[in-house]
Amino acid sequence: MGRRFEGRVVLVTGAGSGIGARLAERFAGEGARLAVLDVDEERARAVAQALPDAVAIGADVSSREQVKDALAVVRERWDRLDVVVNNAATCADVPFEAVSDEEWERDLAVDLSGPYRLVQEALPDLLAARGVVLSIASVNGLTHLGNDAYSAAKAGLMALTRGLAVSYGSQGLRANAIAPGTIVTPIWDERLARDPHVLDTATRWYPLGRLGRPDDVANAALFLCSEEASWITGTTLVVDGGLLAGNAVMMHDITAQS
């Protein structure tokens, strides 16, 4: 692949870990200048240090003030912003009856209101650049797989994506989302600690026979943010190894076929 993002400025939230860190590396590998934003500034720094032209920003996307300060850093350094990737998320891993107000509000604040605030504050820059918004949603926003607050936020993020696409398409802005299935990242560490076999168990549900990798999301993300996708907006690309295409485990159970 050529260098599709030469000279572009890309801001990735939650870029200190997992999918976001890989996205930052892959954008940088194709010539982009990177704003590596994470609420954990140390992690952001570790990722940014390894990139040719990057700034680490410690910020909580749920805070409008911190989002404004983060954008001020980007403007000061490069005076442009071409791509915003809404990737940061929290996920309260508790059953519906046990979700507290704090957990519910936190997931909504980070996973849905964060992107709303960031894109609203960055809109002048994105319109000037005829830029792109990419939001990392989840299969949880398309079918119920637990995590009620997270799932509601991710469904909302896909609606926000359509709204941005329709409202600002005539000014050259594109907005798309990706809905990944299970991607092996540190987000799974807590569940792995509870059940060391959880990833093997999850694999059985995937028609392609393996779980996802951050690069699977990055391949789709770079395409959607590139000129190759210049007539694609308002859509959600499902990147899930076939999970939502059908129900492999149920099919096996009721037909005894794999």
Active site residue ranges:
150, 154
Shortest distance in whole angstroms from residue 142 CB to ligand NAD? 11
Shortest distance in whole angstroms from residue 11 CB to ligand NAD? 11
CA 65 to chain centre: 21
Looking at the Cβ atoms of 38 and 82, the one nearer to ligand NAD is: 38
Looking at the Cβ atoms of 62 and 233, the one nearer to ligand NAD is: 62
**67 neighbors 59 (Cβ within 8 angstroms):** yes
**234 neighbors 165 (Cβ within 8 angstroms):** yes
Closest-by-Cβ residue to ligand NAD is 18
- Say how far apart CA 243 and CA 257 lie, in whole Å: 17
Shortest distance in whole angstroms from residue 76 CB to ligand NAD? 20
Looking at the Cβ atoms of 38 and 257, the one nearer to ligand NAD is: 38
Shortest distance in whole angstroms from residue 125 CB to ligand NAD? 19
**112 neighbors 127 (Cβ within 8 angstroms):** no
- Say how far apart CA 61 and CA 13 lie, in whole Å: 8
CA 128 to chain centre: 23
Shortest distance in whole angstroms from residue 12 CB to ligand NAD? 10
Please name which of 190, 169, 146, 5 lies closest in space to residue 85, comparing C-alpha atoms.
5
CB-count burial class (<10 Å; 0-12, 13-18, 19+) for 254: exposed
Query: Which stretches of the chain bind ligand NAD, using CB under 6 A?
Result: 13-14, 16-20, 38-40, 43, 60-62, 87-90, 110, 136, 138, 180, 182-183, 185-187
Numbers of helices and strands, H then E, in the chain: 10, 7
